[in-house]
Amino acid sequence: MPEIKVTPLGAGQDVGRSCILVSIGGKNIMLDCGMHMGYNDDRRFPDFSYITQNGRLTEFLDCVIISHFHLDHCGALPFMSEMVGYDGPIYMTHPTKAICPILLEDFRKITVDKKGETNFFTSQMIKDCMKKVVPLNLHQTVQVDDELEIKAYYAGHVLGAAMVHIKVGLESVVYTGDYNMTPDRHLGAAWIDKCRPDVLISESTYATTIRDSKRCRERDFLKKVHESIERGGKVLIPVFALGRAQELCILLETFWERMNLKAPIYFSTGLTEKANHYYKLFITWTNQKIRKTFVQRNMFEFKHIKPFDRSYADNPGPMVVFATPGMLHAGQSLQIFKKWAGHEKNMVIMPGYCVQGTIGHKILNGQRKLEMEGRATLDVKLQVEYMSFSAHADAKGIMQLIRMAEPRNMLLVHGEAVKMEFLKGKIEQEFSVDCHMPANGETVTVTTNPSVPVDISLNLLKREMALGGTLPDPKKPRTMHGTLIMKENSLKLVSSEQALKELGLNEHQLRFTCRVPLQDPHSDPDTLHGIYLHLKSVLKGYTIQHLPDGTVMVESIVIKVSSSAEDPNTKVLLLSWSYQDEDLGSFLSTLLKKGLPSGLC
């Protein structure tokens, strides 16, 4: 039985450094190559030594597929391709290919320039790595080699995020990457056709969450911002540069537009501007509304949102500021937060997850006094709000995707083990498919039962049809005779004559002969006649001939009688039949073994 093996190097029962190895039909594929945000040592990157201890990875991997540009899905890519060594193709969608290097470069800068790490990949390495990238289009089937083909589906989540369908022969795997089943302000919902893969590898970040209606959250968010602005307060929204930030920008931008508001909205500059440029370009990857209206106006050309300058933070009057990073642990967002924290009119809205230990996490947990560096304390008087805008599928979304794709096996990655356990139970119960949740380094083996397609010759099919009469009924299997020819990876079912002709073989007759001893006192011809009569009475509807040369023919079966020299009463019947009449022949032999009925003659 063929097998599909899946081994997560990262993201197995964990979030971060997604990296999953899949062996399918003799091909090895690496899905995503991410880094872990929580570590600064070797654990940051997946353990590539699992694949090989020394030497390059090229000969062990057939291709690498990157689902989207988030660093936990692509952060280790230059490390793998340039420092460990991989020269094969890397597949990603066009937007991912465009935005990924920006993020990698930013990441490199922070690590090398700010933290002063050495032995890290360089700008040149990022460039070299990107040269190996082959871009993918949605729904385009790309042949990696003769057998391996991949196809990308829209995944929502962030611009350019894709799910990939990997197919070798008849076995297939779908890897979802991160995806979102509810559309948001700038992206559509993930979609996949009923491809019935053998394994569906799905993320499960929100395995136990069923989120409220999106509209409800949006309304709350807008209302809070609006109220704060009307009071004359300042609103700080810490975000990461890409993804949610754009969604919130569009949300606020359209709201400002609709409500005719005048308060300024600022966005901290830098890498965002560059990325925003790509958002403007890849309109086809956005949602219906943006796609339809970009002819009049590209939604990413913001009218109300202006670049932020450090000095604006002290300006009087209401304003909204988007600032990075999202967890308030450093940088501009923290600076602004310190400035505004003392006033109760102001507000900070945390739109996403905050890691323990960050200021974001502290204030969300209700801490009102923060200790700053240098023993200073900061009184937090501003309002703290949490508004989840995460773009991962929730439990219901995951189930919906499973229903869409109808996989034969499920595999969960990119989530916490406890939550996965819960979802696993649900999936097994609802869909009665096997569900796996391997830890990092643990291999899951799925045996597949691929159906093998066989070409059938038209003549043979027609002949069988003619025999059967009516239309083929898909519910009833039918047996037919034919010869299976396996030639150069293709299977063909043809009639035996044709097979002989094609293979240039002569037809051999196969005859079975068998001797049946029979106790009969009569002479040979009488015995024969007795047999003839007996058969005639048993086998009705068959042609039975008594030939003058002392044989009885039943169809093509020949029966002869000879008596042994020693005992004239013991006759030996000689039966001979061809292979085609095997059924009848064996029936006759068993029949004659029982002897002739006594009443005869």
Partner 1 sequence: MAAHLKKRVYEEFSQVVQIPQEEAPAKKLRLSKPSKSAALHIDLCKATNSTDALQYLLQFARKPVEVESVEGVIRILLEHYYKETDNSVRLKIASLLGLLSKTQGFRPDCIVDDAINTLNNEKSHQVLAQLLDTLLVIGTQLPESPTVRQRLIEMACKHLSDSYFGVRNKCLKLLGCLGTVDAPLTKDNEGLGTSLGLCRGVRDVQSIISDYFGDQDPRVRTAAIKAMLQLHERGMKIHEIIYNQACRLLTDDYEQVRSAAVQMVWVLSQLYPESIVPIPSSNEEIRLVDDVFGKISHMVSDGSWMVRVQAAKTLGSILQVSPHFLEQTLDKKLMSDLRRKRTAHERAKELFTSGEFSSGRKWADDAPKEKLDTNTVYLIASGACGAFVHGLEDEMFEVRIAAVEALSQLARSSPSFAEKCLDFLVDMFNDEIEEVRLQSIHVLREISTHITLREDQLDTVLAVLEDSSRDIREALHELICYTNVSTKECIQLALLELLKNLNKYPTDRNSVWKCLKFLGSRHPTLVLPLVPELLSTHPYFDTPEPDMDDPAYIAVLVLVFNAAKSCPTMPALFSDHTFRHYAYLRDSLSHLVPPLRLPGNGLDLVDSRCSSGSVESAQLFLQQSLNRVSTIQNLEAPGAQDLLNFTIRDLRRLGELQTELAGAADFCATYLRCQLLLMKALQEKLWNMAVPLCLKQNVTATAAAQQILEETYKLEFLYSGLESRQVATIHHVRLQAKALQLVLTARTRQGLDPLISSCEKFLQDIESFQRLFLAELPHLQDSFVDKLLELMPRLSSCKPVETVKILQTTLRQSGLLQLRLPEQIHRATATIIEPTGESDNPLKFTTGLVVALDIDATLEHVQDPQNIVKVQVLYPDGQSHMIHPKPGDFRKPGPNRHRLITQVYLSHTAWTEPSQIEVRLLLAYSSSSTSLSSASPASKLGWSDSIDSLPQPEAAVEGTIPFSKPVKVYIMPKPARR
Interface residues with partner 1 (CB under 8 A) are 182-183, 185, 188-189, 191-194, 206, 208-220, 222-223, 226, 254, 257-260, 287-289, 350, 364-365, 386-388, 390, 394-396, 399-400, 403-404, 422-423, 425-426, 429-430, 470-471, 473-475
DSSP 25-86: TTEEEEE-----TT-SSGGGS--GGGT-SSS-STTT-SEEE---S-HHHHTTHHIIIIIII-
Q: Kindly state the DSSP code that residue 206 receives in the 8-state scheme.
A: B
Q: Are 548 and 562 in contact (CB under 8 A)?
A: no
Instruction: Report residue 213: phi and psi, to 5°.
Output: -60, 135
- Strand segments (E) across 414-526: 434-436, 444-447, 455-456, 483-487, 490-494, 511-519
Shortest Å distance, C-beta 106 to partner 1: 28
Shortest Å distance, C-beta 184 to partner 1: 9
CA distance 28 to 59: 10
Q: Which is nearer to partner 1, 220 or 309 (CB)?
A: 220
Single out the catalytic residue among 82, 171, 203, 253.
Answer: 203
Q: Which is nearer to partner 1, 386 or 587 (CB)?
A: 386
Q: Which is nearer to partner 1, 160 or 585 (CB)?
A: 160
Q: Which is nearer to partner 1, 118 or 470 (CB)?
A: 470
Shortest Å distance, C-beta 460 to partner 1: 17
Q: Which is nearer to partner 1, 214 or 280 (CB)?
A: 214
Q: 457, 415, 466, 455: which is closest to 436 by C-alpha?
A: 415
203 labelled catalytic: yes
Q: Which is nearer to partner 1, 291 or 546 (CB)?
A: 291
Residue 344 to residues 226, 326, 364, 372, 384: CA-CA distances in angstroms? 15, 21, 16, 19, 10
Shortest Å distance, C-beta 205 to partner 1: 12
Shortest Å distance, C-beta 593 to partner 1: 40
Q: Which is nearer to partner 1, 210 or 538 (CB)?
A: 210
Shortest Å distance, C-beta 520 to partner 1: 48
Burial 150-186 (b: 16+ CB within 10 A, else e): bbbbbbbbbbbbbbbbbbbbebbbbbbbbbbbbbbbb
Query: Hey, is 370 helix, strand or coil?
Result: strand
Show the tokens assigned to 16: 């971060």
Q: Which is nearer to partner 1, 254 or 269 (CB)?
A: 254
Helical H segments across 469-581, by residue range: 496-503, 524-538
Q: Kindly state the DSSP code that residue 535 receives in the 8-state scheme.
A: H
Shortest Å distance, C-beta 99 to partner 1: 22
Q: 340, 350, 328, 341: which is closest to 369 by C-alpha?
A: 341
CA distance 112 to 104: 12
Instruction: Return all residues near 297 (Cβ < 8 A) that are at least 6 apart.
Output: none
Shortest Å distance, C-beta 7 to partner 1: 27
**Identity of the amino acid at 317:** G
Show the tokens assigned to 7: 């081994």
Q: Which residues are known catalytic residues?
A: 203
